[in-house]
Amino acid sequence: VGNPCNTNALIAMENAPRLKRKNFHALTRLDENRAKCQMAVKAGKFYTSVTRTAIWGNHSTTQVPDFLNAKIGGIPAMNVIKDIEWFKNEFTPTVATRGGALIKKWGKSSAASTAVSTADAIRSLVTPTPPGDCFSSGV
């Protein structure tokens, strides 16, 4: 958990050769949770109704939150939120820069959302993913 988390996971993995490589994951779940929350709020739905949300890339401003495959209540997100400009011009940059916005506002990152995302990531790793859904993890 740190920027860039994919790079940090790789560095840790390369410097801990006795640990199994499959045990290293980058916490892209934090970004996934942020993306789900943004779509849920925009749609007026609860966070848990948002599925099939993935984050492509690193935990940085270059990441791509995947709204094309996301669903809200089982319906494609773009059919629920019929505002492509919002997805392109607000959603994507907001998800990619949310951590920086929190640091700018409060002078520190949100430990609470990081803790929740860590628990969510571990749960997703040890619990079967529901059919038709996915979760984000830099591996």
Q: In which order are the strands placed within the sheet that holds 75-76?
A: 50-51, 71-72, 75-76
Beta carbons within 8 Å of 134's beta carbon, 6+ residues apart: 52, 53, 54
Which residues belong to the active site? 59
- For residues 107 and 15, which has the higher predicted lDDT (pLDDT)? 15
- For residues 51 and 139, which has the higher predicted lDDT (pLDDT)? 51
- State the pLDDT at residue 3: 64
- State the pLDDT at residue 84: 95
